[in-house]
Amino acid sequence: MDSSVRGRRRARLNEICRALPEVTSHEGQHIGFQVRGRTFAYYLDDHHGDGRVALCCKVPLGDQEALIDLDPERFFRPAYLGVKGWVSVRLDLHTLDWDEVTKLVGASYRLVAPKRLAALAGPPASHPSPRAP
């Protein structure tokens, strides 16, 4: 993936996350997105030399395994947070489903945010589709 595509995808993920109530972020090579000091998502770019660009986020109990089994090319268990039920979805593949990314970000936000803020984010969305267009 060339640097211009990488930059556009990073910016798009930043827009999706920052559109949620009271979100802050810490940027560098990676971006951590927080709500009231609690992280709900990471943009990871070649994390520990894995060669991938990905979104890492919290998912409901049991969803990590289901998503990875659904499509192991797109979804993987992230280092460190995988044991806590987080999942990563690749942002560096040729096709990317931004609706899926938005649903994952929203679900993670609702799991981490205080209830009042989570309610402002809207109702939970359905699981991601098996194949992105």
The model's pTM is 0.88
> 65 — phi, psi (to 5°)?
-65, -40
pLDDT over 60 (residue 15): yes
Over residues 29-79, the pLDDT tens digits come to: 889 999 999 999 999 998 888 889 999 999 999 999 999 999 999 999 998
Between the two ends of the chain, the Cα-to-Cα distance in Å is 18
pLDDT tier at 133, thresholds 50, 70, 90: very low
Query: What's the pLDDT at 28?
Result: 81
- pLDDT exceeds 80 at position 1: no
Residue 44's SS3 state is strand
In the structure encoding, which two tokens stand for residue 78, read together? Answer: 């992230």
Give the integer Cα–Cα distance in Å for 13 and 72. 21
Identify the pLDDT of residue 88: 97
